[in-house]
Every structure is written in C-alpha cells, then in structure tokens.
Amino acid sequence: MRLRPTSRRDLIKIGLLGSTGLNLSHHLRTQAARRNRLTGPSDTSIIWLWLQGGAPHIETFDPKMEAPSDYRSMVGALSTSLPGVEFGGQLPMLSTHAHEMSIVRSFHHSNADHLGASHHVLTARDAPGGVQQQQSPSLGSVAARVRGASHPQSGVPTFVRLSRTISFDFDQPMWLGVANSPFDADGPSRSNLNISIDASRLDDRQSLLQGLDRMQREADQSGLMAGMDSFEQQALDLVSGGFRQAFDVSKENPKLRERYGPKLGAQLLTARRLCEAGCGFVTLNYGWAPTPSDTPFAWDMHLGPGQPKAPPMKQQLESIFPMFDRAISAFLDDVRDRGLNEKILLVVTGDFGRTPKINTFGGRDHWPNLCTLAFAGGGLTMGQIIGTSSTKAEYPTSRVIEPKDLMATLFHVLGIAANIQFADFSGRPRYLLPEGANVIRELI
C-alpha cells in the first residue's frame, strides 16, 4: 500500500507542529548544514557542576592544616590516593579518587560579588560590580552554536540545564541566538530548540514517559514514520526517543542508583545518561543543605547578623558535603566502568571561594582570590595538583589560572577552535575566547 504524504493535521496530531513544531525539523536541516561548515569532535561532553554561593576552597581541596587555627579547614583533612595530597575532612570517598582527578589550587579572579563573579566564571568575561544581566554567551551556548542545537542522530539537545542557580541565570546565548539556549529541565515551561515541555511534568516522570510513549505509538500505528523525511523523524526522536530515554533513570541498575544517592546523585546520573545520548554540555547546581538556614545559598556561610538563624558553619558543611562526596564518587566509578572517562569531563567550580581567615561570627566571607576548581575525565591528564597557594590559602603563588583559561581548556575538550568567531546582532564578527586565554597545559 502506498503511504500518503504526511499532512498538516497528522503533524499536529503527533506534536510536531505548534510548540514542538515544523520549525524544529526545519531547524534540524539548518543546523546540519551549518555543522558541515564547522570542525571538531562531536563525541565529547562536559558536565558542569556549579557550586552556587561560593564553596570554600579550604574545606574542599586545599585544607592547609599547618596554618593557624582560624585559617585551616574547620572540618579537618584526609590523606588521599595521591601521595602527600590532602582533601577536606568531609570528603572520605573523593579522597580515594584523587588519582582520578586534577585539582587546581590557583584558580583566581577579582570579582567578590555573587552576580559579577558568576558572570565571570560562566562566560569568561568579567563584568564590574554586581552585573544584573548577562553580557556574553555562556560556554554551553557556544557548544550549541558550534555543534548545532541537538545531536544529529539522537536528537538530544546539545545544551541541557538540569538545575538552575537560585536567583539568576548566566548561561544564556546572548547574541549567539535563542536557539542556543539551554534546554531547561528544572525551570518554568519554555521553548528551546522550538520544543516546549512543561517542566513540572519532569517531576512526574511516569506521566511524562507515558505521554511520550503514547505519541510515539500513534505515529507508528498511523504509518507516519515511513512518510517523514529524516529531519522530521529526528524531530520526533527529540521529544519521544533519545530525550525520553535519557531522562528515564529507572532503566539503571537499582544498586547503581543507590550508589549515586538522591538529589545531586540523581542529577549526575541523569547527566551521564544525557551525555551517552549525545548531549554536549550539561549544567547542574548543588547548593542544597538539609538544615534550616537564613543563608540565601547553602555555601554562602557568612553567619553573623545577616544570617541570624544559620547553624555554625562546621555543622552546615557536615550537612552539605556527604551528598557531594557520595554523588561525585559514584559518578567517577560509573564513567570509568563504562569506559566513558575519556569522553565525559566533569568540572566542579562555583562563583568564588571563601575568606581564608574565619570571621568573628565563625563563618567565611566572599573570596575570589582563590576558588574551588576540580576536573575529572574528558581525556585530560588526571592525578595531579595544578598551581600552589600561599600558606594560609589567601592567594595563588604559582600557575595562576583564570576563568578565560578554564574556557580555553573546555574549548579544547569540545574540539572548538580557539580563534572561532560568530557575528553578533549587529553583524560584527566577535571572538568567543577572550584575549590571552590559554589551555591549562598540565591537563593536555
């Protein structure tokens, strides 16, 4: 029997018109043509674990136990699998994985404002003071612009945001165009890649998966799949195939899911699944703590009059670190066991570190002169400490690494040319990397 052409009504019926529209299949054709003009590997991925509020560099990876008591790590220190290297005392699992990580102890910038610092680290462009809106494209959007907004085979979005920062978002495409926005799985319903999925339904995964199953069955039963061209089929895959499968963590071994743990662990497991399905850049934010607090971000532990009900900083750290330690350790084991540690790079960082000297209220304030930065996987050289800090963890004393160098390194992992340019809204070509950005040579 000869299949009839796909009609407008058919496309509406299976959800490929309107909010998930014909614009999507047209967009896929356009990006495929553009991808043919750009070079670089398409099988590497980055998972960006963002520590909103400023995780303390001392209590994470630079404990300085020989410093005076009002400087050293308030949670102690642990020996690691790297001889002579210590991590903070609340990271027992990660301490056994130190040989699978590279820690930068000299990551530095100069912006002590949450907004300005976040903008600087996420875009590699400094913005003076408390910038209220993004001014430069984020790295995830750059990846989407270069590779195309979705994977050419699976249809999975190139740039996915699993959880947002609490009060602002500096991971937008700006003049690279709205099609290169992150697919937001955690925020309000929005259109990215010409798709709209109500994010509230992502919390009810059973309902979401049932709906996508039903859409795919209707398409198969009506014979529409055979009548579609490859781009229309790819568009359907995006909303019912690869995307659906990547979010279905129930397919994972229950023992593995237990090893990852809840919240952050579930997000890291989802991020790994997204990367396996072809996603190029996944962002997630960890700032959750189970103890009640007036602090706006879980890592922002000033204490004092501004946070009158906040528990002592040591108590907060003892609440927030176990999930962090467990989830990342499980992730490192998982990607290694799957042979993915050459393909997936995990980056752990945030807006800044905390003051080396404990303040009069028993907390730590903003400190951009040294910041937490750790890498794992991505085909980079692991098992090393890069750079050094002063004896009280105040300033870098060698190999100063800045946000622009971090971005250059991630360009390298994603196969993006350092001199790549795209036109802004005025038509003027602009470089994506800031001047003077250098790949962290110890990693390659």
Residue 119: CATH number of its domain: 3.40.720
In a domain, 333, yes or no: yes
pLDDT per position as a tens digit, 57-78: 999 999 999 999 999 999 999 9
The pLDDT score that the predictor gives to residue 171 is: 84
Nearest 5°: phi and psi at 6? -65, 125
- Per-residue pLDDT tens over the stretch 94-104: 999 999 999 99
Q: Is residue 261 part of a domain?
A: no
Percent of the chain residues topping a pLDDT of 90? 59
Q: Among 178, 200, 179, which residue's Cα sits nearest to residue 189?
A: 200
In a domain, 7, yes or no: no
- Mean residue pLDDT across the chain: 81
29 phi, psi to nearest 5 deg? -65, -45
Q: Is residue 215 in a domain?
A: no
- Token pair for 384: 């090393």
State which residues form the domain around 59.
41-199+276-443
Tell me, yes or no, whether 231 lies in a domain: no
Q: Is the pLDDT of residue 33 over 90?
A: no
Tell me the per-residue pLDDT of 199-228, one tens digit each, with 9 for 90 and over: 344 444 455 455 555 555 555 555 444 444
Residue 21 lies inside a defined structural domain of this protein: no
229 has a pLDDT exceeding 60? no
User: Span 287-307, mean pLDDT?
Assistant: 68
pLDDT of residue 294: 44
**pLDDT value, residue 86:** 98
Residue 352: exposure state from Cβ atoms within 10 A (0-12, 13-18, ≥19):
buried
How many independent structural domains does the chain possess? Answer: 1
Cβ density class 381-415: b for 16+ within 10 Å, e for less: ebebbbbebeebbbebeebebbbbbbbbbbbbbbb
Decide if 323 is inside a domain: yes
Rg of the chain over Cα atoms, rounded to whole angstroms, equals 22
Q: How many CB atoms lie within 10 A of CB 221?
A: 9
For residue 230, being part of any structural domain is answered with: no
- Rounded to whole angstroms, the Cα distance separating 417 from 24 reads 27
